[in-house]
Structure 1
């Protein structure tokens, strides 16, 4: 069994058509059919049921597809790590972050790492937490700064800091002074983070509103903190965001009230693949943890 057999199989499994698969693989159909037949003969079972009208995976084929995908993802991750070893720290180091955590602290991290490793190209990518987890598992990111929860046997993580939540609003259109006034916002419009990008975070915001006795009227959703704050700034609604993300992006038109009574926090995590053990990763995490001690308490 060769690697090309697996790649050919996955393409046919995805397209469920030998014609379309052969076109995408840039080979003619008869050789592709022979390769799949060789693979089935070697395994000793049929992977596809096929006739003149349709191609479909057998139950064995469905299982094989799932396992082969995992094998190829692992192989890609190994290849990435091998390249880094061969580059001898002359390659790239890729850091993912979520928009609500970007601040001068991450800028300070890049400055520090660039001075420590002058021959490494450091890349920053704004990626939602869910997608960061996948990218870290696949070796496409070396370090992730994301919000919990994180459940992956392939990743290790450390708590950077716990962020409280705060209500943020346009102070010219909403007149509240203390946390006790938040219940007055039951008739106000709200701008929330996109549910599909951060489902746990979205549910926490609903829980916070419930604690103040109302269900929010959500009129806008966004997957970016800056966009949410811009909408709030324009008077299109209030929002609930992690406190530090507001402090890092405050506008003259905005005010916020930290919601201390709800006793809910957002865990900001530093995560990396368990197989990633480079000095860059260790130093980056330690640098940010030191910032946590001095800045976030």
Structure 2
């Protein structure tokens, strides 16, 4: 039994006429009649009661019609679902990222993607960069957004959007009245920093300080950038932070830009090289949004 047998059967049943059904199917009547006979022979019972004037369903035919319509409907839905998945309009997208990256435009990007592809379920997984990489390789996530990614030949990393690094200061700090601050002017300050052992971005900022002529005096280390603001507000030091941290409103803190050449806090999107259509669609929207 093939799908065309079911389609031919439904067409005859709904038209109650071999002639009308053949016309709607754009085939001649003799082949249609033969297909229906083949179907009845395979099933082992008559589906139509034929007379010289009309065609009526038998009791078995009426029951078979319900099943045939259901099967054809399921096939049509399966085809639609396959096309939707193949075009990236349906599926699941798991994104790994850090909390500080979420303070930037990633949430806007996800919201725009959801408007474009409402059939895709997006999950955000907050995790440190090392865990993100492992999850991506293990196919637990599909994309990662990180700063200063580690080179991995099995993954593809490109800049998603650009950010600069600024400095968070207590509002009564002597440098707070400046619009921009030279990195070298922070020599001698106490710093609160991202944890150097965990963060390539933290090590990069440390190296930028060294290049500016001083080794930062790090008094406290934290895991997430937004935690730095709490320590700055408590008067425990100043902090080098990505621009997006300015979106955190915290009393007692001011954010100031660094003079060029300022350190970079660019965010990279990382994916596996052989990704599916949903990931391809999201990456294309990322390129368009930040072009």
| Same fold at TM > 0.5 | yes
8 Å contact from structure 1 (residues 164, 260) kept in 2: no
Please, what TM-score do these two structures have when normalized by structure 1?
A: 0.61
Corresponding residue for residue 274 of structure 2: 275
Corresponding residue for residue 116 of structure 1: 116
More deviation in 262-271 or 228-237?
A: 262-271
Deviations 1:48-69 (A, max 9, x none): xxxxxxxxxxxxxxxxxxxxxx
Deviations 1:205-227 (A, max 9, x none): 22222244322221111111211
* Per-residue deviation, 1:264: 3.5
How many residues are treated as equivalent by the alignment? 207
Please, what TM-score do these two structures have when normalized by structure 2?
A: 0.62
8 Å contact from structure 1 (residues 92, 121) kept in 2: yes
Deviations 1:66-100 (A, max 9, x none): xxxxxxxxxxxxxxxxxxx8x95765321111222
* Per-residue deviation, 1:265: 2.1
8 Å contact from structure 1 (residues 173, 235) kept in 2: no
Aligned-residue CA RMSD (Å): 2.8
The SS at the match of 1:163 is coil
8 Å contact from structure 1 (residues 149, 267) kept in 2: no
8 Å contact from structure 2 (residues 94, 125) kept in 1: yes
Deviations 1:5-46 (A, max 9, x none): xxxxxxxxxxxxxxxxxxxxxxxxxxxxxxxxxxxxxxxxxx
Aligned equivalents of 2:104, 2:162: Cα separation in 1: 18
8 Å contact from structure 2 (residues 246, 255) kept in 1: no
Task: Return 5+ residue gaps in structure 2 as ranges.
Answer: 1-81
Distance 1:158 1:175, change over 3 A: closer
Aligned equivalents of 1:119, 1:180: Cα separation in 2: 47
Structure of greater Rg: 2
Aligned equivalents of 2:151, 2:253: Cα separation in 1: 35
Deviations 1:193-243 (A, max 9, x none): 111221x3222222222244322221111111211112112222101122x
The SS at the match of 1:192 is strand
* Per-residue deviation, 1:135: 1.2
Aligned equivalents of 2:193, 2:240: Cα separation in 1: 7
